[in-house]
């Protein structure tokens, strides 16, 4: 099994989970905020734009685009900084019990995607693409 196939498989798994989280309202999409309560359609539109942006970045990484790798790293860094200062959010209904375990697995998969994109041989595919 080649490293490129593993890399693309991890990206496909991550894309499927992002879409499932958004579709079923699990994970970060289940949090209740005043904005979501007062403007539900605006919140839904904002979440859809966020998911579309993440899918565009992961699609760029699928095709080994350097801009996508840079944006992915920046998004991860911003996400880590925001998580330090984020307050606890509550949800109206609790997600199924497996969501927390799969969310932890997705953290490992995200780390593997990041590591593989900067290590050979996948790194070489990013270097060989023209901007």
**CA-based angle 60:10:26, to the nearest 5?**
95
Mean pLDDT over 43-64 rounds to 89
Alpha helices of the chain — where are they, by DSSP H?
A: 3-24, 34-38, 40-62, 66-85, 98-118, 122-128
Q: Is the pLDDT at 87 greater than 80, yes or no?
A: no
Torsion sign across C-alpha atoms 75, 119, 65, 103:
negative
Mean pLDDT over 91-99 rounds to 75
What does pTM read for this prediction?
0.84
Confidence of residue 131 (pLDDT cuts 50, 70, 90): very low
């Amino acid at each position: 099994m080649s490293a490129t196939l593993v890399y693309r498989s991890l990206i496909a798994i991550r894309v499927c989970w992002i879409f499932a989280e958004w579709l079923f309202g699990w994970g970060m999409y289940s949090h209740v905020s005043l904005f979501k309560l007062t403007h539900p359609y605006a919140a839904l539109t904002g979440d859809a734009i966020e998911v579309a942006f993440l899918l565009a970045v992961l699609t760029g990484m699928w095709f080994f685009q350097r801009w996508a790798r840079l944006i992915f790293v920046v998004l991860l860094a911003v996400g880590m900084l925001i998580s330090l200062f984020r307050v606890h959010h509550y949800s109206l209904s609790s997600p199924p019990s497996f969501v927390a375990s799969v969310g932890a697995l997705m953290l490992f998969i995200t780390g593997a995607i990041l590591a593989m994109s900067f290590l050979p041989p996948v790194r070489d595919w990013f270097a060989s693409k023209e901007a």
